[in-house]
Structure 1
Amino acid sequence: MAAYDTIIRNADVLTNSGLKTIDVAIAGGKIAALLPTGTGEAIGTIDGAGQTLLPGVIDIHFHIRAPAYPDRGTVESETKAAAAGGITTLFEMPISKPCCNSAERIEMRKAHFAEHARINFGIFGAPGDLTPEAVGGMANAGAIAFKIFTTEAPPGRDDEFFGLSFPDEGDQMRALKAVAAAGIPIVVHAESAQLIAMFETAAQSLDLANADTHLAARPALCEAVAVAKLLTMNMEARAKLHIAHVTSALTVDVLRRYKGTSDFSAETCPHYLFRTHDDVRKAGVFAKINPPVRLQADQDALWSALADGTIEHVTTDHAAFSHAEKLASAKDFLRAPPGSPGSEILLPSMLDAVAKGRISLDKAMALLSSNAAERFGLASKGRIEVGADADMILVDFDGTTEISRDNLHTFARDVAHLYYGAKFSGRVTRTIVGGKTVFDGEVVGKAGDGHFVAPDRTIRPDTRLRA
């Protein structure tokens, strides 16, 4: 009898010790062996000749919101898009209708995703009323992490943000302490509510149809001040703090100044690394994102922060809105819904950076996969080694990924204006989740192929200070 379920043969495999031309054997959804080429027997084989085998991408910041708002996408549509983009695990944010702010709602979303997802998924919780019972209950239900905003809830969306939006600094401190006790990360959308209110009031007198108005309403100062306050609070709270979607040179400077003061990490996104405000001007409100895409100097600072380890994660912040929703505010940057799709942009854009020599392949995959597995307690993911989950992707560096409305899988294909016409060096040819192919030039995975992932909570939040 064959020893393995599947062997991936002849690929250049990114291992912990670099690229090696070896065969990778899979059994029972796990990586069972790393073999010399041509050895071993399996029920099935995959020829990876001329391609590179990488750990699957772990996207730690993803918004689907299903089952509400099906016109923005469903679990099936958006996990299909993720599979096509080489993402094997995503973390779903708690902005649902109603907000995912209790253990009961985590269980409901787990069940909904388990029925429909084509890739693995973790579920974020909102810390709700900040009581030990509420936070502990969500942690015990398997929440991958908690999320809060330091900004006000958007008008008319209170039910989506109840227990998630904490503009008051006292509440922010209580949230940090409450989640610290649970032993899993707390991710923060950090912008100063008070400064935003001041700048937005002033921006009302500007041309609301002009992209410059959005930048004026949410300058980098709003982000940097909120981050500095959180990092100061965390010196006492001792939470496992993670700063979402860093956008600016000013915030990078803050992160560097606080290095070593507590256990914190930070992320940025492709729209901040590969696009600038000039691109937003061209795309209009379809490219409105909060916090905003900024200037070339900010982009340069973000790449510097990736190079020196100040920022350790790159993620999508995939946030799909319908074309009608964006178009309804085409002449009002302050009222237009913020968000852009990223599920099929994340990996191709970073592969392009590798092909152009801007970043090494092992560094890119650390930013996209292994750092996430370590930070969020997924011990069996993020690497290609014996015993790890068989979540992997084959990519062709000689191929090209072209972005157009017609070749995107996401429901948000109609609002991906920020990337229309983009061409990235490198192409995902196959996505494997738990040893099963879910994308092979087309999405072949089925609803329910994805599995719920929960963190290992044995690592306490104060065990890793940033050196």
Structure 2
Amino acid sequence: MADLVISGGDVLLPEGLSRVDVSVTGGKVSGLHTPGTAPDAGEVIDATGRTVLPGIVDIHFHVRAPAYPERGTVLSETRAAAAGGVTTIFEMPISKPCCATPEIFEDRRAHFAQHAVVDFGLYAAPGDLTEATCDRFLDQGAIAFKIFTTPAPPGRGDEFDGLAFPEEDDQFRALKLLAGTGRPVVVHAESAALLAHFDRIARADLNPASSYSHNLSRPTVCESVAVAKLLAMNMSAGAKLHIAHVTSAETVTVLRAFAGTSDFTAETCPQYLFSTEDDVDRAGVYAKVNPPIRSKRDQDALWQAIADGTITHVTTDHAPFAKAEKAASEGNFFDAPPGSPGIETLLPGMLDAVADGRLTLKQAHDLCCANGARLYGLAPRKGTLLPGADADMAIVDPGRETVVTLGSLVTHARDVAHLWQGRRFRGRVERTLLAGRTVWNGTEVTGPEGGGRYITP
């Protein structure tokens, strides 16, 4: 007898959609059955007219906990993940202090384990760039490593100590060291020197209240130059390099030029695929993110890069801030904090792209789930619904809409989600299951605090 059977739905399997019933035992998928032939079960979920997807794996997520609870907590933001059909998140190492020592890493792991509603993995910052430190992170199960090619923002040195490497020699040392770990090395890639150059010009010549000043102070060349240098260095370093949040047509051209030269992948985010700088102008400082949201030309280039396989991942870069922090910078784009919540709009946005004909359902799911599970060493436990996989699922209704309003979101940062206010996406998350347990029932989060598991490669 199974613990649970999901019946009547169209289930996304590696070969595509299939009308099968899914049985779950002990938190794992125990069988795929011709409709009507599943074993008896303690619980049956009727998914008729619905699509059953493997739970989404978001490989780029920020909550910064336990610091800054006014922005959101592990509990609040993993509850939001559950509401968005996301069953596994990978938390970035920006914290206060930075997650750059094994001791801080262990404290964060314990904190997340106490409060997370969904499964979680943790990034490490390479810290002192020694093999001893990296080996300890590996022993602790770090899902991957992260570095910035930019300096620490003013006043936030302790959050970036051991994470920010603006000098190229340190970037190369990090790539070379981390190549030996076999784990992905995710890089926020912008040129420190060019950022400083354009920021000086912008602050002297531009109106800080104009949303367009952000793009002019942080233009696409800052990103494309940094990515080109990293890819050139990686030809020697040999790291498993992953370029975070690609935003521009220029950077897409660079990625194509370096295709095949080393082991690298790239991601973009819904804010770049579904918004342009005109949307930022409408939403104000609440929609400021780094790197900036660009032009329609850049947006089109990102979609083309997805179509031809240059970009193989779509992630949220979910980064909540308190409303007071954003509101204090209204009228000053230069100094406004960068970040926007996005964990609840990832899957509806990708389902809308399917409805538009931009992607097949399998392509959309690969981009925001299965490709990440494979890259980070979690497949087939995550990212599939084959027997033996974790019974993590998002049951969606492709015929219903998700209408985003600030009050409708679960994230603690709902009051600063202006970028998504009023959006209508075709596709709605009706139920989320973690290890066969419902953690979102379509109207409320039902998963328990601390119910998420620590995930290692």
TM-score range, shorter chain: over 0.9
Separation in 1 of the partners of 2:391 and 2:239?
31
Asked if residue 59 in structure 1 is aligned to residue 58 in structure 2, the reply is: yes
Deviations 1:244-298 (A, max 9, x none): 0000000000000000000000000000000000001111111110000000000
What is aligned with 1:402? Answer: 403
CA distance in 2, matches of 1:272, 1:42: 43
**Cα separation, 2, equivalents of 1:188 and 1:301:** 21
Other-structure match for 1:12: 10
Partner in structure 2 of residue 201 of structure 1: 200
Task: Identify the residue that residue 424 of structure 1 maps to in structure 2.
Answer: 425
The correspondence of residues 359-378 of structure 1 with structure 2, limited to 5 A, is 359-378=359-378
Deviations 1:125-166 (A, max 9, x none): 000010001111112111100000000100010110000000
- The total of aligned residue pairs comes to 453
Structure 1 partner of 2:32: 34
Question: Offset of 1:312 from its aligned partner?
Answer: 0.5
- Distance, in Å, in 2 between the alignment partners of 1:437 and 1:175 is 41
Q: Secondary structure at the match of 2:19?
A: strand
Taking the aligned partners of 1:293 and 1:308, their CA distance within structure 2 comes to 22
Counterpart in the other structure of 1:275: 275
Cα distance in 2 between the residues matched to 1:381 and 1:10: 22
State whether residues 92 and 122 of structure 2, in contact with CA within 8 Å, keep that contact through their aligned partners in structure 1: yes
- By how many angstroms is 1:307 displaced? 0.7
In structure 2, the residue matched to 1:449 is 451
User: Mind listing any 5+ residue stretches in structure 1 that lack a counterpart?
Assistant: 456-467
Letter in 2 for 1:450: G
Q: Does 1:232 align with 2:232?
A: yes
SS class of match (1:418): helix
Distance in 2 between residues matched to 1:18 and 1:331, nearest whole Å: 48
Q: Secondary structure at the match of 1:241?
A: strand
After superposition, what is the alpha-carbon deviation per residue over 1:93-150, rounded to whole angstroms, capped at 9, x for unaligned? 0001110011111111111111100000000000001000111111211110000000
Match of 2:439 in 1: 438
Question: Which amino acid in the other structure matches residue 451 of structure 2?
Answer: D
- Structure 1 residue matching 2:90: 3-state secondary structure: strand
Equivalent runs, 1:331-370 vs 2, <5 Å: 331-370=331-370
CA–CA separation in structure 1 for the residues paired with 2:435 and 2:174: 35
Q: Shift in Å at residue 187 of structure 1? A: 0.2
Is 1:263 equivalent to 2:272 in the alignment?
no
Amino acid aligned to 1:66: A
State the alpha-carbon separation in 2 of the partners of residues 387 and 219 from structure 1. 47
- Measured on the aligned residues, the alpha-carbon RMSD in Å equals 0.7
2:246 counterpart of 1:246: yes
Distance in 1, matches of 2:371 and 2:14, equals: 13
| Structure 2 residue identity aligned to 1:286 | Y
Q: How does 1:120-139 map to 2 (within 5 A)?
A: 120-139=119-138
Local SS of the residue matching 2:162: coil
Is the partner of 2:402 in helix, strand or coil? strand
Query: What pairs up with 1:82-97 in 2 under 5 angstroms?
Result: 82-97=81-96
- AA aligned to 2:401 is T
**What is the DSSP-based 3-state SS (H/G/I as helix, E as strand, rest coil) of the residue aligned with 1:334?**
coil
Determine the structure 2 residue equivalent to 1:391. Answer: 392
* Corresponding residue SS for 1:425: strand
Which amino acid is 2:11 matched to? Answer: V
Instruction: Name the amino acid aligned to 1:361.
Output: L
- 2-structure distance, mates of 1:371, 1:429: 24
Question: Per-residue CA shift, 1:442-465, capped at 9, x if unaligned?
Answer: 10001011101011xxxxxxxxxx
Please state whether the residue corresponding to 2:261 is helix, strand or coil: coil
Structure 1 outlier segments of 4+, above 2 Å: none
1:106 aligns with 2:105: yes
Letter in 2 for 1:150: T
State the alpha-carbon separation in 1 of the partners of residues 255 and 425 from structure 2.
30
| Identical aligned residues as a percent | 59
Compute the displacement of 1:346 (Å).
0.5
Equivalent position amino acid for 2:21 in 1: D
Question: Counterpart amino acid of 2:104?
Answer: R
Q: CA deviation at 1:329?
A: 1.0
Counterpart for residue 299 of structure 1: 299
Q: Which amino acid is 1:49 matched to?
A: T
Cα distance in 1 between the residues matched to 2:118 and 2:90: 11
| Counterpart contact for 2:10–2:50, Cα < 8 Å | yes
Is contact 2:407–2:415 with CA below 8 Å preserved after alignment?
no
